[in-house]
């Protein structure tokens, strides 16, 4: 278990410590950021161990509560944005079915530009893929889209 110093006692100057707050879930998450549960745990611990003769300033407590609320809302907004972006990528991949796409395989001098008609879209990977014949092409590798049978245009 790791001890986390949350502040000092107002009167004695001794550290106020919260320990034993790790769960199995916390071990697998990124430890470099402070989540809303850990933030709330630290606030409760700070209140529990405060000096009764010199309690925490109410404006300071309100500021910490507001910070907790802000962190929670930002976390929720990040999750919503991530889900929205994933849905947008899936819709984009789906809209390519029946269209002709161009993509590049390989890098450097071994790079080969290929063109084909999209048969299907797959959402099993982090980045959706489209199937052209037997080839799976990542959505972010597609460099051009055009209707089937449209003349190829040169960008030179």
| Whole-number Å distance between alpha carbons of 99 and 95 | 8
Q: Which of the four pLDDT bands, split at 50, 70 and 90, describes residue 21?
A: very low
**pLDDT computed for residue 81 by the predictor:** 95
**pLDDT computed for residue 94 by the predictor:** 92
**pLDDT computed for residue 13 by the predictor:** 52
- Has residue 75 got a pLDDT over 60? yes
At a CB cut-off of 8 Å and minimum separation 6, what does 149 contact?
100
**pLDDT computed for residue 126 by the predictor:** 85
- What residues form DSSP beta bridges with 5? 17
CA 145 to chain centre: 28
């Amino acid at each position: 278990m790791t001890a986390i110093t949350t502040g000092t006692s107002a009167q004695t100057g001794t550290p106020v410590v919260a320990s034993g707050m790790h769960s199995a879930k916390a071990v697998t998450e990124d430890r470099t950021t402070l989540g809303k549960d850990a933030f709330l745990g630290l606030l409760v611990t700070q209140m529990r161990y405060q000096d009764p003769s010199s309690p925490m300033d109410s404006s300071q407590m309100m500021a910490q509560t507001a910070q907790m609320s802000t962190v929670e809302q930002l976390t929720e907004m990040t999750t919503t944005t991530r889900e929205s972006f994933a849905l947008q990528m899936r819709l984009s991949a789906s809209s390519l079915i029946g269209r002709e796409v161009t993509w590049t395989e390989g890098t450097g001098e071994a790079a080969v530009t290929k063109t084909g008609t999209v048969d299907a879209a797959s959402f099993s990977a982090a980045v959706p893929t489209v199937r052209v014949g037997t080839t799976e092409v990542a959505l972010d590798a597609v460099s051009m889209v055009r209707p089937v049978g449209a003349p190829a245009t040169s960008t030179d």
